[in-house]
Chains A and B, each alone.
Chain A
Amino acid sequence: MASLQETFAQRQNESAAQVNDVYNKQYDAQTAGLKSTYERSMSDAQTAAKAIAPQYQLQANTLAGQYEKARRNANLNAMTSGLASGTGQQQQNALRNQYLTNYGALRGQEAGAVTEANQNMVKLTNDYNAALANARAETEAKRNQSLIENYNNNQNRMDTQAAAMAAYGNFDMYRQLYGDAQADQMRNVWIAQNPDAAFRSGMISKEDYKKLTNKNAVIGGKYRTIYQ
């Protein structure tokens, strides 16, 4: 059988392990839901990001088609209305410049959309990591609080048990709690107050009994022989 010290250490370790188990599992429970939510949000964000390029390419194609159509119409007009070559060229240049401006603006918008999508994904990851860190911090705070309570509960339990055991003349728990000097002092006071019980219980010898009471330890005309 383990000593009291080992019993207490074992009890402390066992209860602390139970507390730790609770908070490890609380962290898992808090974060399990976060992961699937994050994965769904990230999948949506990735799909939206993938859709940007084709969407802008379609707009760019439309823009190019419109430009080509306008350029041909301008050519046709120039031919049919007999515009001078320079005027026709100016029109062509104006159309081309307008097209390039629009095209540039479109690609600028696309770049902006891609940046926003990327930022959104980075934010999702950051938010997810922050939620994990928050859950970790919250769990650790609760775990520490609970471990302190557990430690105090074990100490209170020892105190209560020490008093209960001392009522039966056993001061070993107090010895464990407060050391030999304290326990011996308590035990000696108890023996001095209860010499008969101490002698009958075998805690003191007949010599000690005589020292305490100045009487022989005589019960029924015979020395008690239990303490030998």
Chain B
Amino acid sequence: MAEEAKKNIAIEAPQTVTTAAEMKTTAQDPNQFRTAFEQRKQASQGNIQNAFDSSLNTQTQELGQGLQQNLAAQDAQTAASQGQYAFAREDLGTQAARTGAGMDRYADVRGLNRQAGSQQSLMLGRGAATAAGRLAAQQQAAEAESARQKALLTNDYNGRVQAALANRDYSQAAALLDDYNSQNAWLDKNAEAMAAFGNFTGYEYLYGPGQARTMQQFWIGTNPELAYNTGVIDAKRYKEITGRNAPDVKASGGNDYQWYNPYAVGGMPTGGSGGGNTSGGG
């Protein structure tokens, strides 16, 4: 008979049979779990961000120091080069003057006429001017090259900082993704572990109160004593489920509707009529 009944059974869709108010328990506050998890997540993400930010700061400081050293070295090189050019200009002037004086003496000794002497002087003057012009052009080119090198050093620095920043962002994002997966694994594991103790706040956080309530319903049905003793259900519900009075409630009645408060003075009920659930019972 029972076998036949099983074959023909039409089982109804699951229904919520215990309201949220009935399920209320001070020991299972989903907001506490939510707050704890969010704090845990934020602390973990904060640690990751701080670690990578700190590493980036060190890197950029080193790069900045490197740039300053390179620019200073370039400036020193430019200053030395300018000194060399100044010396070369002076030397050129001295050489020109010396050569000019030598030519004058030569002209005097050889008795060259005034015009020939002037032509020679003119040629020397032109030669000196050409040499000075070349020198100036070389100096300008050297200065332009120095400026270019400095611009390249700065550009390199900016590129390295950008690369360090981008590397920081990439490494940080990769670490945050790992952390995200770890946090989710932690959530799943803890939700399951807590459910084994009749606490479904983890599942509530993950999937909402409806899903958690269905699971808690099952847990209460299979563990009415535990559910009663931990304050998840009241004495009335205990009696509805088991057909018996709660362990600490006398047959004549008592304060069946008093929720157990685990945070009240007196702590957990130990069974018997003196338990926390029946205070003030009649």
Contact = CB atoms under 8 A, between A and B. Distances in A.
The answer on A and B forming one complex is: yes
Interface of A: 1-2, 4, 7, 15, 18-19, 21-22, 25-26, 28-29, 31-33, 35-37, 39-40, 43, 47, 153, 157, 160-161, 164-165, 168-170, 172-173, 184, 187-188, 191-192, 197-205, 208, 210-215, 218-222, 224-228
Contacts of A7: 206-208
A16 B242 CA distance: 48
A42 B218 CA distance: 72
Contacts of B5: 210-214
Contacts of B184: 157
Nearest to A218: B243
8 contacts: A4-B211, A35-B162, A36-B162, A153-B181, A168-B215, A205-B12, A208-B12, A222-B243
Contact of B169 (A28, A213, A226, A228): A28
Contact of B155 (A15, A36, A224): A36
Q: Which 6 A-B pairs have the closest CB atoms?
A: A220-B243, A36-B159, A200-B221, A202-B17, A1-B208, A201-B221
A22 B173 contact: yes
Nearest to A43: B152
Given A32-B163, A43-B152, A219-B241, 9 more contacts: A1-B210, A15-B180, A25-B173, A32-B165, A36-B156, A40-B152, A157-B184, A200-B220, A202-B17
A165 B203 contact: yes
A225 B240 contact: yes
A169 B17 CA distance: 14
A198 B96 CA distance: 116
A192 B6 contact: yes
A49 to B, nearest CB: 13
B209 interface: yes
B221 A220 contact: no
Given A160-B188, A219-B242, A221-B243, A165 B211 contact: yes
Interface in B198-231: 203, 206-211, 214-222, 224
B72 to A, nearest CB: 20
Given A18-B177, A40-B152, A224-B240, A4 B159 contact: no
Interface string B6-28: 10110110110110000000000
A215 B241 CA distance: 17
Contacts of B239: 220
A211 B6 contact: yes
A191 B241 contact: no
Given A4-B207, A169-B214, A211-B9, A226 B240 contact: yes
B244 interface: yes
Contacts of B9: 188, 192, 208, 211-212
Contacts of A29: 163, 166-167, 169-170
Interface string B158-202: 111011011101101110110011001000100110010000000
Given A170-B218, A201-B217, A227-B17, A25 B2 contact: no
Given A26-B170, A29-B166, A165-B211, A19 B243 contact: no
Contacts of B17: 202, 226-228
